[in-house]
Chains A and B, each alone.
Chain A
Amino acid sequence: MIIKGGFIIDPTRKIDGDAGDVAIKDGKIVDKVSSSATVIDAKGKIVMAGGVDVHSHVAGPKVNAGRLMRPEDKFISGVCRSGIAQKNGYRMESGFSIPSVFKTGYDYARMGYTFVMEAAMPPLLAPHVHEEIHDTPIIDEAALPVFANNWFVMEYLKAGEVENTAAYIAWLLKATKGYGVKLVNPGGTAAWAWGLNCLNLNDTVPYFGITPAEIIKGLIEANEYLGLPHSIHLHQNNLGNPGNYPDTIAALKLAEGVKTNNKFGREQVLHSTHLQFHSYGGEGWKDFCSKAKEVMDYVNKQKNITIDLGCVTLDETTTMTADGPFEHHLHGLNHLKWTNVDVEMETAAGVVPYIYDKNVLPNAIQWATGLELALFAKDMNRTFITTDHPNAGPFTRYPRVIKWLMSKKAREATLATMKNTDKVINATYIHGIDRELTLYEIAQMTRSGPAKCLGLGNTYGGLAPGMNGDVGIFDINYKNMPSDVEKIETAFQRAAYFIKNGEVIVKDGEVVSHGHKKTVWVKVKMPENLQVTRDVSQAFSQGTYTVDIRNYPVREYLAPHQSVIDVNVEA
């Protein structure tokens, strides 16, 4: 297959809008193909690699809890029984903030995304996560098990045993077919079992006597000891509260001086996710304000951290996180329906619907904060577009976020429709920022950057020969950018073409194939750690877990299309 004449945007090779061809053979990008290859005409359109989403909640028990809890979410935007889908034999799509698995796969494909990271997998419930991943068509997926409130991890780290922690991580990644180390409100979620939280990095976790700072620091060390493709992936403490930005910077500082150790081209040791929720000033909701500049001033200096935005999109959505105490707190604020669960010795989660209303001052400030983070960023290869789907907004709003980032006019237009425009301007930086991101920068934030951050930079996120034949073609003329910014949003919402592994998946914005999805996970090979083996087997045999160890791991049949990344840790 050859994609001809498009404006290629590929930050991995520093190509910015040069007209050229992209050739794909046997699912991979190649230098050239024979003259008999299928030709796809991309003239007048931009050509990018398939998108990579670094953080999105798309599969697993809490997503399903959200679906069960919110039938009305399907009512709002159910694309039921569409004529085209019926004709082509595709499955019904439903849901807006918590779309069905089919809609999730189709919508990502329509936006030209090829890889999505499920951002929080409770290890005990990993079989469900994998079943749901398998049921989501088209997109390649991986999942990050949560570690930061795990009893084993807290006990090993309290005793300063980084090697044991690493061995436990290796065991758990294998058992759950996980990808990397996710931290959610380190210590805080565990503290909630005592009705408490850890808002500050130096709060002590009850019973375990460890602090969030020690957990973060310890997991960074364990992660680099193993040399995993991805760094630790941190959802910080004190999420969503006014005045939390000093805590955010304090946590980022824990990465100072730590060097990466990996063979996957990753440069960071800490990925701080949905930073928008962690960049607030003010004493309370009355003087709530954005501190995006302060946070980004630090991030810009510190080369070994990456961030994603977590942009508020001003929609009615469903929040869901392993940050149990936060969800309880949120329910107290908006009185909407709420569910929380505890996952034995590992983690917890909660779900609460939330309406981000542009006329509610704090919501409007949150909207501005998310965009400001990107606009203050100096290195777009370390700054990624997310909405923490579905927490700050559904992933289907990425094109709208791109529009806001690429156009001051679009930002001002949204700002002008708010009830408290002046107050929003006073509490944020957005009105004074003239920067408009380029398509090249957008490609860094959605393609090359996140792929590199996940240690997948040699297969995803670029169009160099040898990489996956995943290509998005969008109907935007690079040389003649549309004066109507709405067209940017429409073009990114529905790709002219999306090609995955050399197969046309989307044509003219409609899904035409279910493709061949893969589940990616990381298998660590290291010498057996007898201490950890004994601790784990004891936890199961002594009844600390409610399941038998034989029923704990994800069975092979639950993840039928695996792509395994091997990591070898020398003895």
Chain B
Amino acid sequence: MATVTLKPTKVPELIFEGYSINPDAFANKSAAEIAALPGHEGKIHVTIGDFFEVSGNGGETAADTDIVIAGDCTRVKYIGARMTAGTVTLNGNADMYVGGWMKGGKLHVKGNVDSFCGIQMEGGELIVDGDAKNHVGCAYRGDWRGMKGGTIRIKGSAGNDIGTFMLGGTIIIEKNAFIHVSTHAEGGTVIIKGDVEGRVGGQMVKGDMYVLGEIKYMMPGYQKVDTVEKDVDGIKAKFDHYIGDLGERHTKSKGQIVYANLYLKVAA
């Protein structure tokens, strides 16, 4: 295992597009080579070395490479995007697209992240200790193929459009969420431990949602079918089981129509 440490030296005037900050790009490279990896600031070509002091060499493969970013990256995008293995630990905030299109490995942000974290993720683990803005684990704009696998855990709250067009994988929001959860989803699981404003599971075809707090405005396309006991992310509780979205097309499996499931914790 080799650890590469990036220490922020300069705050970008615009936003630094750090699409080279991932274990796959760092593997097999020396600290100097890593500092020379490309990025963009607006339309200008820049390098990682323009904004970070790099110490330590990359491992032989991505799996052998750990990246530690010792400082704040509020103005750095695409950290850990497309990574397939290894780890990235960020001791601060990050801008958009953290862990987007990620296929494997572990990405841990100790601060907050902006929008589009984990979009179209296929595997691996993304942990955010703070809050996330909008579009957590959603599909790219316009695309109908969303998150396919992996786990996203936001320990704080999240904004709107969580798991849009989701096909697989798990998203856990430990606090509250705003609107549009699992819109158009055809698979996957979203767990929201706090409250949601509304529009949960609109046009959802398949997949599961768990809400442990309250939903302020329920979608009209959901119907309560029964009450079940479930163990959700370590919490055992009774849930009202709803199916939906009844206004959307649904496939059949073994003669039964497959609906999306919404489990809403029964108030104590």
Tell me the A residues contacting B by CB distance below 8 Å: 69-73, 75, 81, 83, 86, 335-337
A336 contact set on B, CB distance < 8 A:
144
The bracket for how many chain B residues form the interface is: under 10
Evaluate contact between B43 and A81: CB separation under 8 angstroms.
yes
- Inter-chain contact A72/B45, CB cutoff 8 Å: no
- CB of A335 within 8 A of CB of B249, answer yes
Binary interface profile of B, 130-173, with partner A (CB < 8 Å = 1, else 0)? 00000000001111100000000000000000000000000000
B142 touches A70 (CB 8 A): yes
CA distance in complex: A350, B144 (Å): 19
CA A337 – CA B184 in complex, angstroms?
Answer: 12
Q: Is residue B40 within 8 Å, beta carbon to beta carbon, of the partner chain?
A: yes
Query: Does A72 lie within 8 Å of B40, measured CB to CB?
Result: no
A72 and B43 contact, CB distance less than 8 A: no
Chain A residues, CB < 8 A from B140: 71-72, 75
B143 contacts which of A75, A81, A83 (Cβ < 8 Å)?
A: A75
Give 21 pairs: A residue, B residue, CB < 8 Å, sorted on A: A69-B142, A70-B142, A71-B140, A71-B141, A71-B142, A72-B140, A72-B141, A72-B142, A72-B143, A73-B142, A75-B140, A75-B141, A75-B142, A75-B143, A81-B40, A81-B43, A83-B45, A86-B43, A335-B249, A336-B144, A337-B144
* Across the A-B interface, the 6 shortest Cβ-Cβ residue pairs: A71-B142, A72-B143, A72-B142, A71-B141, A72-B140, A70-B142
CB distance from B250 to the nearest CB of A (A): 12
Which A residues are in CB contact (< 8 Å) with B144?
A: 336-337
Using CB atoms, name the residue of chain A closest to B40: A81
Nearest CB in chain B: distance from A334 CB, A: 10
Q: Which residues of A contact B40 (CB under 8 A)?
A: 81
Inter-chain CA distance A310–B174, complex, in Å, is 52
Determine how close the nearest CB of chain A comes to the CB of B26; give it in whole angstroms: 23
* Nearest neighbor of B205 in chain A, beta-carbon distance: A335
Query: Considering the chains assembled together, what is the distance between the CA atoms of A71 and B144 in angstroms?
Result: 11
Q: How close is A355's CB to chain B, nearest CB, in angstroms?
A: 10
| A residues near B141, Cβ cutoff 8 Å | 71-72, 75
For B45, list chain A residues within 8 Å (CB): 83
Whole-angstrom CA separation of A449 from B156 in the bound complex:
65
A478 to B224, CA, bound (A): 72
Q: Indicate the member of A72, A83, A336 with the most B CB atoms within 10 Å.
A: A72
Interfacial chain B residues near A75, Cβ < 8 Å:
140-143
Taking CB as reference atom, which chain A residue is nearest B42? A81
Shortest distance in angstroms between B138's beta carbon and chain A's nearest beta carbon? Answer: 12
Nearest CB to that of A83 among chain B residues? Answer: B45
Bound together, the chains give a CA A71 to CA B141 distance in angstroms of: 6
Closest to A74 in B: B142
CB distance from B260 to the nearest CB of A (A): 16
Q: In whole Å, how far is B218's beta carbon from the nearest beta carbon of chain A?
A: 26
Cα distance A111–B199 when bound, in Å? 49
If A71-B140, A72-B140, A73-B142 are given as contacts, then 8 extra A-B residue pairs at C-beta distance below 8 Å, sorted by A number, are A71-B141, A72-B142, A72-B143, A75-B142, A75-B143, A86-B43, A335-B249, A336-B144
In the assembly, what is the distance between CA of A29 and CA of B74, in Å? 60
CB-CB nearest in chain A for B145: A72
Question: Whose C-beta in chain A lies nearest to the C-beta of B141?
Answer: A71
Q: Which residue of A lies closest to B144 (CB)?
A: A336
Q: Which residues of B have CB within 8 Å of A72? A: 140-143
List B contacts of A69 (CB < 8 A): 142
Chain B min CB distance to A320 (Å): 15
Least CB distance, B251 to chain A, in whole angstroms: 11
- Give min CB distance, A474 to chain B, whole Å: 32
Contacts of B143 in A (CB 8 A): 72, 75
- Chain B residues closer than 8 Å to A337, beta-carbon distance: 144
Query: Per-position contact with A for B195-238: 1 when CB-CB < 8 Å, else 0?
Result: 00000000000000000000000000000000000000000000
- Chain A: minimal CB distance from B101 (Å): 10
- Considering the complex, give the chain B residue whose CB is closest to the CB of A68: B142
Least distance between A347 CB and chain B CB atoms (Å): 26
Name the distance in Å between B39's Cβ and chain A's nearest Cβ: 12
Contacts of B142 on A, CB cut-off 8 Å? Answer: 69-73, 75
A81 to chain B, nearest CB (A): 5
Nearest CB in chain A: distance from B156 CB, A: 28
A25 to B249, CA, bound (A): 64
CA distance A26 to B133 in the complex (A): 60
- Within 108-138 of B, Cβ neighbours of A (below 8 Å) are at none
Residue of B nearest to A71 (CB): B142
CA separation between A335 and B184, bound complex, in Å?
12
Residues of A within 8 A of B249 (CB): 335
Q: Give the shortest distance, in Å, between B241 (CB) and chain A (any CB).
A: 26
Q: How far is the CB of A84 from chain B (nearest CB, A)?
A: 12
- Smallest CB separation, B97 vs chain A (Å): 12
In the complex, the chain A residue whose C-beta lies closest to that of B38 is A83
What is the bound-complex CA distance between A290 and B74, given in angstroms? 57
Q: Which partner residue on chain B sits nearest A73 by CB separation?
A: B142
Query: In the complex, A212 Cα to B53 Cα: how many Å?
Result: 72
Q: Bits for B33-50, please: 1 = Cβ < 8 Å to A, else 0.
A: 000000010010100000
Question: When chains A and B are docked, how far (Å) is the Cα of A174 from the Cα of B249?
Answer: 48
A377–B163 Cα distance when bound, in Å, is 51
Chain A proximity of B119: nearest CB distance (Å): 11
Question: How many angstroms from the CA of A544 to the CA of B136 in the assembled complex?
Answer: 49
Cα A75 to Cα B249 in complex, Å, equals 28
Residue of B nearest to A337 (CB): B144
Complex CA–CA separation, A86 to B142 (angstroms): 28
Bound together, the chains give a CA A551 to CA B249 distance in angstroms of 44
Q: Could you say which residues of chain A place their CB within 8 Å of the CB of B43?
A: 81, 86
Q: Which residue of A lies closest to B249 (CB)?
A: A335
Task: For A86, give the chain B residue with the smallest CB separation.
Answer: B43
Q: Closest CB of chain B to A287's CB: distance in Å?
A: 24
Q: Which of B43, B45, B140, B143 has the most CB of A within 10 A?
A: B143
CA distance A88 to B45 in the complex (A): 15
Which B residues lie within 8 Å of A71 (CB)? 140-142
Contacts of A70 in B (CB 8 A): 142
* A96 CB to nearest B CB, Å: 13
Query: What residues of B have a CB within 8 angstroms of the CB of A73 in the complex?
Result: 142
Q: Which residue of A lies closest to B45 (CB)?
A: A83
CB nearest neighbor in A for B139: A72
A452 to chain B, nearest CB (A): 41
Q: Which of B40, B45, B142 has the most chain A CB atoms closer than 10 A to its own CB?
A: B142
Q: Which residues of B contact A83 (CB under 8 A)?
A: 45
Q: How far is the CA of A75 from the CA of B40 in the complex (A)?
A: 17
A70 to B142, CA, bound (A): 5
Q: How far is the CB of A50 from chain B (nearest CB, A)?
A: 33
Closest Cβ–Cβ distance, residue A555 to chain B (whole Å)? 33
State the Cβ distance, A71 to closest chain B Cβ, in Å: 4
- B242 smallest CB distance to A (angstroms): 23
**Bound-complex Cα distance A72 to B40 (A):** 21
Minimum CB–CB distance from A90 to chain B (whole Å) comes to: 13
Cα–Cα distance between A337 and B144 once the two chains are bound (Å): 9
Q: How far is the CA of A86 from the CA of B44 in the complex (A)?
A: 10
Measured between alpha carbons, how far is A48 from B142 in the docked complex, in Å?
Answer: 40
Q: How distant is the Cα of A170 from the Cα of B207 in the complex, in angstroms? A: 58
